[in-house]
Amino acid sequence: MRYQRFAALVLAAALLLTGCGGTQSSPSAAADQSSDNSRSTPGAAALAAQTDRITDQFALEKNVSGVWGEEAVQCISVHVPKLECGSPDAVSLNKELAAIYAADFREYETYEEAGQPGSEYPQIGVGWDAYWYGDCVSLVVRSRYDGTAPWRYSGWCFDFATGRQLTVAEMLQRMGLDPDTVQQQVQRQAMQAFDREMAQGAYYEGLRLGGELSQMRMDTLEYNELENLCLLLPEQDQLVLRGKYSCEEGWQQLDMEIPLTSAAPADTPILTDTYDGVQVQLEGTQATITLSPAPKTDQWGDIGIRVEQEHSYPILGAYNEYVDVCIGEQEDGFFHPVVYLLTRDGVVEYVDVLRCLMFGNAMICQDPIYIANNGVSLERSGNSKVNLRRKNGSVLELADLSSEWSVQDIPYSITGSFNCTNGNWLELSGDGSVQLGVQNNRRIDQGDAAYLGIVPEGMVLAIFTDTGLDFVAAFKMDQYNENLTLTMIAGQNPFAEGETQLQMTRSYG
């Protein structure tokens, strides 16, 4: 008996060293969690053992009335999870879960039962699901504080073998996936869902001019950054990342499936077109525009743009799958090429090549022209204009639409006054007027900003001043901390020479 107690103590100590009772025999084995030999979903016996690793730290099942002042009977169903682990990360996470989910419902423990047991009343509360990958778990908590509202989901990842909380990126690495690749896949799927919703619902009509449409597209990209997502493993070898996209009614849930195993590369057609010194090529997720010296591109010398040798530019802000591409012109009295791209959903996107060149040498895919949908092919007519042929046989000319679509206010979240820590500052108005204080406020420049499109780093603006202090940058606003992050795309950072990224703080003075 004494030996058995000693053996139990030794075993408990060993489990403590491996984290919180991991199945690996040693810490080094825990570190090998991401090896090929360990990439498998646990069997039934292992899952049964894992059910004791997460329990309820607070539970309440009750029908009550008077919840948050409402007289109607509500079914309260609250189950707040607890990691059965004593590591510092587990303790901290358990406290966080209690603070977020348990505090709002503790007072209802003393409420009298209302209604009949088993009756179906609008349900509010908290629930959770655990998705296991070896000793790692993705804990997904759902919550609802209104019986008619959709459920809200939040997720946390934890490794019981080491007792550490994991980021979503670390969890993906355990599965043998590259987080950067998954991030691109997720943001592409999210943006495609958003664009599909807009084209089908025609919500864009009252949203585009004031910049709200661009704000919603940016919100969709930002929300679907990996650390905002829930990770689900509903079936063996099936990974789903739960995000959402913005729409006029609010947010819509979006589940995006990510392959856990590498599939054979599909035969993706290469889409190309060439027009008077401008060439575009789309191959899978790679898209480029190439400019070459030609009689038409030589015309740009009169406005200070010189194409002296062939140069290729990646197309930034292109998130869809494309089935056709065509280059045409807008009639501005000189060579004004525009690249049109047709998505698999029949919506037109475009890159205004000359506009991008004038505003900083970065090829940005503009927000989609949702009115030009139900398209099946692009065709150039009269050697310069591009038409969209639609499913019903009608033909829509795109030049005027793309010209009109480029006109809009600067999105509201990035307008206002902002200060740098080094004394420089920026004032940006919704109508595009700009003032810059640079060189520690020894020089003040005035100019204009043009909205070009959306990239993961933010909303892309081309800023040009009367004195030639021109640049292209992505701007992303952290509304909670009121910080504006500027990421350079083309040109020289006027606020911090040599820096590619800079954080500015909103000023109310």
Ordered DSSP codes for 138-206: EEEEEEESSTTSPPEEEEEEEETTTTEEE-HHHHHHHTT--HHHHHHHHHHHHHHHHHHHHHHHTGGGG
Look at residue 36 in the predicted model and tell me its pLDDT: 32
Burial zone of 113 (CB within 10 Å; 0-12 exposed, 13-18 middle, 19+ buried): exposed
What is the value of pTM for the model shown?
Answer: 0.85
Q: Which two three-digit tokens encode residue 204?
A: 């864009």
Question: Residue 346 gets which letter from DSSP?
Answer: S
Look at residue 154 in the predicted model and tell me its pLDDT: 96
Residue owning tokens 């599965």: 175
Give me the half-sphere count of Cα atoms (radius 13 Å) on the Cβ side of residue 267. 0
Which residues have a Cβ under 8 Å from the Cβ of 210 and sit 6 or more positions away? 408, 409, 412, 430
Is residue 250 a contact partner of residue 243, using CB atoms and an 8 Å limit? no
Look at residue 264 in the predicted model and tell me its pLDDT: 60
Q: Which helix (H) or strand (E) is 212 found in, with range? A: helix 212-223
Q: Which two three-digit tokens encode residue 261?
A: 């195993």
Run means of pLDDT, 10 residues per run, the chain, 509 residues: 38 48 40 33 51 94 82 89 97 97 91 76 92 95 90 96 97 95 95 92 78 92 95 90 88 91 72 95 93 93 90 95 95 88 96 90 92 94 90 93 88 92 90 88 87 94 87 91 91 86 87
Give phi and psi for 142, each to the nearest 5. -110, 145
Q: 12-174 falls under which CATH superfamily? A: Fervidobacterium nodosum Rt17-B1 like (3.30.565.40)
Q: Which two three-digit tokens encode residue 79?
A: 């189950």
Helix, strand, coil % (nearest 5) of the chain?
25, 40, 35
Measured on CA atoms in the order 474, 475, 480, 483, is the torsion positive or negative? positive
Look at residue 27 in the predicted model and tell me its pLDDT: 28
- β-pair partners for 119: none
CA distance linking residue 138 with residue 129, whole number of Å: 8
220-225, long-range: CB < 8 A, 24+ apart: 220/190, 220/191, 220/194, 220/245, 220/246, 221/187, 221/190, 221/191, 221/454, 221/456, 222/476, 223/190, 223/251, 224/186, 224/187, 224/190, 224/254, 225/183, 225/187, 225/456
User: What number of other Cβ atoms are within 10 A of residue 284's Cβ?
Assistant: 12
CA distance linking residue 413 with residue 221, whole number of Å: 15
Q: Which two three-digit tokens encode residue 421?
A: 């820590």
Burial zone of 171 (CB within 10 Å; 0-12 exposed, 13-18 middle, 19+ buried): buried
Look at residue 16 in the predicted model and tell me its pLDDT: 44
Question: Residue 62 gets which letter from DSSP?
Answer: E
> Which segments of 32-155 does DSSP mark as H helices, in order?
44-50, 88-97
Q: How far is CA 211 from the centre of its chain?
A: 18
Taking each helix axis from N to C end, the angle separating 179-201 and 212-223, rounded to the nearest 10 degrees, works out to 150
Q: Which fold has domain 412-507?
A: Lipocalin (2.40.128)
Q: Which two three-digit tokens encode residue 82?
A: 């607890």
Q: Sheet containing 238-247: which strands, arranged edge to edge?
A: 230-235, 238-247, 250-259
CA distance linking residue 416 with residue 2, whole number of Å: 74
Which residues have a Cβ under 8 Å from the Cβ of 405 and sit 6 or more positions away? 208, 350, 366, 367, 369
